Homo-oligomer: A and B are copies of this chain.
Amino acid sequence: MEKFNIHILGCGSALPTTRHQATSQVLNIREKLFMIDCGEGAQVQLRRAKLKFSRLNHIFISHLHGDHCFGLMGLISTFGMLERTADLHIHAHADLQRLLEPQLEFFCKGMPYQVVFHPFNPGERTVIYDDRSVSVETIPLRHRLPTCGFLFREKPTPNHIRRDMIDFYGIPICMMNRIKNGEDYTLEDGRVIPNSELTTPSDPPRAYAYCSDTVYLPRIAAQVAGVDLLFHEATFTESEAVRAKQTLHSTAAQAARIAKDAQVKRLLIGHFSARYEDEKALLEEAQAIFPDTLAADEGLKISL
């Protein structure tokens, strides 16, 4: 099965602590890296996770609160010192470009690569990235400023060739791509061998949804229905439900309700408030509603 890993670089909330870094995650999808959010310290966490800097070409920023983007300048600047030449694409609200450009001009003059901004409207559900392996769709969220999550959907992979059947019928190599992609094969005597006899079905495409930061928003469930892994913020426990609503954050129980309604395979909670010494209470609260819940942690890697 091809790689689809989620690496947690940071899962704290606005106030960084010595336990949790500011928000950042990296997806490794078939050896291409995609970063989601880039809080302060993300570049060191990326190094710590032993992820290859050169494989990271796209960064997606959910919203412009400092704990989700203050690591960008350090990362961009380090990539320049490491003689990167490939463009680095940043997908974010248009305000980010306006804020970063004067800094890039000052701190990164003469860098051997370009930072390319791709502004999008976080309030609108749109596909903002698409290649032959994966597409990325925004998930409009509700927070104190324009915010969206991201839904990463893997593209279907070709069927697996059944070597034994290919040999049995003596099918030439030049036909393999067409057979992988579903074609039947006609023998010289006119007999048609159905594709189902020549291949086994490929692994079903996987999906990862990232929802942070947001107030409890039941409508998310429809968009993330059935994903293999849902990351949902769980800044507070239910005992702080009023504060969660006021600050437009979610509780662990609310994150679990979304997971349950969406019938996702697994839930990953994070964006923990600095007030919690550990995540036990948050995790137990979510698991009571949705048992397949994990708590994020720096260095955690999940394979889908």
Mask: chain A, 91-116; 1 = CB below 8 Å from B; 0 = not: 00001000100110011000000000
Nearest residue (CB) in B for A75 is B40
**Neighbouring B residues of A107 by C-beta, 8 Å:** 64-66
Complex Cα gap A106–B66 (Å)? 10
Is A202 an interface position by the 8 A CB rule? Answer: no
Within 8 A of B (CB), among A31-77: 40-41, 43-44, 47-48, 64-66, 70-71, 73-74, 77
A248 within 8 A of B: no
Chain A 71-92, CB within 8 Å of chain B: the 1/0 string? 1011001100110000000000
Q: Decide: B70 and A77 in contact? CB cutoff 8 A.
A: yes
- Could you tell me if B40 and A82 are in contact, using CB atoms closer than 8 angstroms? no
Q: List residues of chain B with CB within 8 A of the CB of A106.
A: 64, 95, 99
| Size category, A interface | 20 to 34
Contact at A66–B70, with CB atoms within 8 Å? no
| Chain B nearest Cβ from A1, distance in angstroms | 30
For A196, the chain B residues whose CB sits under 8 A away are: none
- Quick check: is A16 within 8 A (CB to CB) of the other chain? yes
Give the distance in Å from the alpha carbon of A107 to the alpha carbon of B99 in the complex.
10
Selected contact of A40 from candidates B18, B64, B66, B71, CB within 8 Å: B71
User: Could you say which residues of chain B place their CB within 8 Å of the CB of A99?
Assistant: 102-103, 106
Using known A-B contacts A40-B41, A43-B40, determine if residue A18 contacts B48 with beta carbons closer than 8 Å. yes
User: Residue A300 at the B interface, CB < 8 A?
Assistant: no
Q: Report how far A17 CA is from B41 CA in the complex, Å.
A: 11
